[in-house]
Amino acid sequence: MEPRDTQPPSRGVGSRLLRSVLLPSFVLLPLAISIGPSNGGSGPVVREGDRQKAGPVIVPVSVRTARELAWVLDRVWEKWASAPDRVPNVAPARFPHDMGALPQSTRKRAFVRSVLPHILAENDRILRQRRALEIALDRAQVQGKLSEFQTLLVLRLAKAYRVELTPDELEQDPASAIHRLLRRVDVVPVSLALAQAAVESAWGTSRFAREGNSLFGQWVFSSTKGMAPKERPEGARYAVASFPDLAASVRGYMRNLNTLWAYESFRDLRAGLRRRGSPLDGALLAQGLLMYSTRREAYVEDLIRVIRHNRFGRFDNARLVPVPESAVRRLTARVQVLASSEGVPVPDA
């Protein structure tokens, strides 16, 4: 279990503007219960004596406006438009400040294509950690002990995922220790992560998303860090965490779901699906996030509706495919020429 002083309070962050996929206008909903940005995690892991290949590195899209972003992403995605299980490894590091100026359908499309690669990349990083643990578990079950490399690996991941584990405990019962750790070292369904990002960031238009790259409404408990909500009560110390980029926001979100006490129900549901050999269903696992918002059941119902309405489940088995960085640079240069001449057309489709 994690130390008590890391646990979030069981209350919401207040209200903010939220663009719902099912409503034509902004409505007020509370932010997520969470804590601040990731401390960097433990990084990718490797097999003993055999480096695992990392997934494709995200190729950044650097543009000035949301219209330019949508134009570039539309052309990058043309080749995979009919293959939802293939996602180009191209995404912006942050949203342009004028995302709200795009037509709704164009904005939603650009949002998904901007956030999805970051979610897949982080899930890939976690999955490589999990596979390394499964290899260690196989050895523990056969030989009753781990190699020196695996011992260091398990202890390092236990620290990163806030699992109390001493070297003596690991030596005495390595299989049990790894089973405990595997409950936390696991992916978040893409459909669920996309839905929460859409809800919490108002499809990339919220102030927290635009100014602080905050996709999931994570908190920090400091009056000098993060971004203070406009409706924060006088004297309150909490703020919405800011991040250097969207990738860091995704990593912080997944770290929260995998470590904080408030989301133990989520991890229990996920572990149950793993035991039964069932797919990780985003709509089902959303039911483990009652503590994410003071709206409780209503918030979970919103997530499920967002997942189903936008057919986010079609991305749950997606994987990143590499796009040459040179091709992205050419598209970026071309859209800048268009912007300085006749303008950048963006179809609302």
The per-residue DSSP string of 56-75 comes to PPPEE---SSHHHHHHHHHH
Residue corresponding to tokens 């963006």: 346
DSSP letter assigned to residue 91: E
Q: What is the pTM for the complete model shown? A: 0.85
Say whether pLDDT at 59 is over 60.
Answer: yes
Q: What is the rounded CA–CA span in Å between residue 16 and residue 214?
A: 13
Band of pLDDT at residue 233, cut at 50, 70 and 90: low
Instruction: Give Cα separations from 212 to 203, 218, 241, 248 (angstroms).
Output: 14, 11, 7, 11
For the chain, the structural domain boundaries read: 4-340
H helices within the chain, ranges in order?
Answer: 66-77, 104-143, 148-160, 167-172, 174-182, 190-201, 207-212, 246-259, 264-276, 282-285, 297-309, 325-340
Per-residue pLDDT of 94-146, as tens digits, reads: 999 999 999 999 999 999 999 999 999 999 999 999 999 999 999 999 999 99
Instruction: Give mean pLDDT, residues 259-279.
Output: 98
Mean pLDDT of the 48-54 span: 47
Least Cα distance to 17 among 205, 260, 261 occurs for 205
DSSP 50: B
